[in-house]
Amino acid sequence: MQTKPIHNTPTYIPPPIRPSPPVHQTPSSTPPIKPRAISISTPNTPVAIPIPQTIEPDDSTAAYYDYQFLFMSQRSEATRPVTLSTVEGVIPADFPAGTYYLTGPGLLTDDHGSTVHPLDGHGYLRAFTFDNVTKNVKYMAKYIKTEAHVEEHDPKTKKWKFTHRGPFSVLKGGKKVGNTKVMKNVANTSVLKWGGKLLCMWEGGEPYEIQAGTLDTIGQYNIMDGADLEDHDDNKGGDVWEVAALLLKPILYGVFKMPPRRLLSHYKVDSRRDRLLTVSCNAEDMLLPRSNFTFTEYDSNFNVVQKQNFRIPDHLMIHDWAFTDTHYIVFANRIKLDVLGSMAAVYGMSPMISALRVNPSKSTSPIYLIPRFPEKQKGKERDWRVPVEAPSQLWLLHVGNAFEVRHQHGNLDIQIQAAACSYQWFNFSKLFGYDWQKRKLDPAIMNVKGGSELLPHLVQVSIKLDSDYNCQECDVKPMKKWKKSSDFPATNPAFSGKKNKYLYAATTLGSRKTLPCFPFDTVVKLDLDSDSAQTWTAGSRRFIGEPIFVPKGDGEDDGYLLVVEYAVSVNRCYLVILNPKRIGSDNALVARIEIPSHLNFPLGFHGFWAAN
């Protein structure tokens, strides 16, 4: 039996807001629906908060409420398939059979006054299964039963008590000084189905394996072991930093219970070779001016094809990366230790991530081109430890695609499409506007002035190499036709690692004064050949997450786009199907599928389409 969830957000009573005329939505969205009252409460003192029937879209109070809706906790699970209703359009007859998996934080507030950063929220896996016979969509959602989940949740009382701080959070109650429960694997960042296994991944440890049919948690899956490691390091154990690493390991592994290696949550699929590519890092490298990256490639049966380690002589924090036919590409997001931040973190006065901060000491952006198949580059002596220097400074967030073009004379052009932001804006402990002292998320940091340059935006990186892989030119340009705040770039997965014409991303039209940059409300389709852009907008007080492409044919835009819509105006979540060929037209929306209101879920991070 499903129960109505308790939304654990801080109690908040907005001041009176003067009525305004109803806001008209774009032609491709549903007509305005009369908003309903919603209950927002603290765990122990439920208070009904009536939301005004009409709210000025630019009012700061309404903006605060709208932003909190995206990060409301959902304690209920849909443990059995729920058939969803299509409230607009129809599911097309040629929509492929399969399941769209979406993971992200589901619980952000416990029953003892603590609110954690979204990156530390317990993983909540959502599954939308499309039946191409009945044309129904069935929905399930369950928490990933990680070790932290089992420890912090009482199944008898249904109460939660956060005991793990998590790298990005501070707990209100409980032990602060000496609390070594820091690394909190919540499996909330990305999801993958490969080789018959469904995995939920996190940035700091092993993924959790999930039973696809039931969404039950099987347990941690040891993906980082197996196969001999080929080490491309010429200085094995011979420098001062190796000695420092030996001293750090027993502290990090023993005291703080950190796993020896952390798996990056972003993986890549080489569709041409039918391979899965992953990257892992050593835990101690978080504190040292050197970085070990282990690149592993798996075949379609999850057998290791090759595994290589490369040591980069720099202090880096990597979230996403790229690959081509010949290279792994690592953008050097440079960091450094913060002594004062470290002390504050140890004493529980700030999140543990405060021990690190960005390092803007270089005006350029180092990009490491690491040979994917070193044996094929024998005789071409370019030192991969020497980065290509992009002429502008950028902090890379997410990669949409990368590919290379080999010219007849042997020269190589590499193109990377990505979302990046400014070093001056990026702040580990304030992402999404987390404010642990006020127990709320403040949308102001995501909507700073000059956002088009500071906040995440789309860029195109071009690198030209000669036949010996020496860099002749490197250039970084913003997407000319779309300079608004954007993230979650995506392509047709069949074109990953290949030359692509189209790029999709979540973005904003910037029409709302108080929330001009984030949350996103629009999907943009960029034609990279013609340098043009087309958009579809969800509508007034409706936001979206990451768009994902579902292929159905051989053409690059032959398929559908899936995106979750968070309709604050009607207190609903929807799964939206878009026709990518019609983006920019009034009929781009194919279907809008409603999730029951008692199963509303918070903003997801990354998803995966698994065809049947």
Which regions of the chain are under pLDDT 70?
1-58, 173-181, 226-229, 233-238, 241, 243-245, 247-258, 377-381
Q: Which residues of 454-491 are buried (b: 16+ CB within 10 A; e: fewer)?
A: bbbbbbbbebbbeeebebeebebebbeebebbbbbbbb
Q: How far from the centroid of its chain's Cα atoms is residue 352's Cα?
A: 20
| DSSP three-state, residue 462 | strand
| Residue 319 annotated in ligand binding | yes
Distance CA(79)–CA(192), nearest Å, equals 20
Q: Please tell me the predicted confidence (pLDDT) of residue 214.
A: 97
**The predicted structure's pLDDT at residue 179:** 62
pLDDT recorded at residue 234: 56
pLDDT reported for residue 235: 56
Looking at residue 44, its pLDDT comes to 36
Q: Tell me 51's DSSP state.
A: P
**pLDDT score for 59:** 76
Q: What does the pLDDT read at residue 56?
A: 53
Structure tokens at 587: 């009929």
What pLDDT shows up at residue 46? 34
Could you tell me the CA-to-CA distances from 367 to 293, 333, 388 in Å, in that order? 14, 9, 5
Instruction: Report the candidate in 523, 542, 546 with the shortest Cα–Cα distance to residue 534.
Output: 523
Q: For 364-397, b where at least 16 C-beta lie within 10 A, e where not — what string?
A: bbbbbbbbbeeeebeeeeeebeebbebebbbbbb
Is 409 annotated to bind ligand?
Answer: no
pTM of this prediction?
A: 0.88
Q: Is 232 annotated as a binding residue?
A: no
The confidence score (pLDDT) of residue 285 equals 79
The per-residue pLDDT for 340 is 85
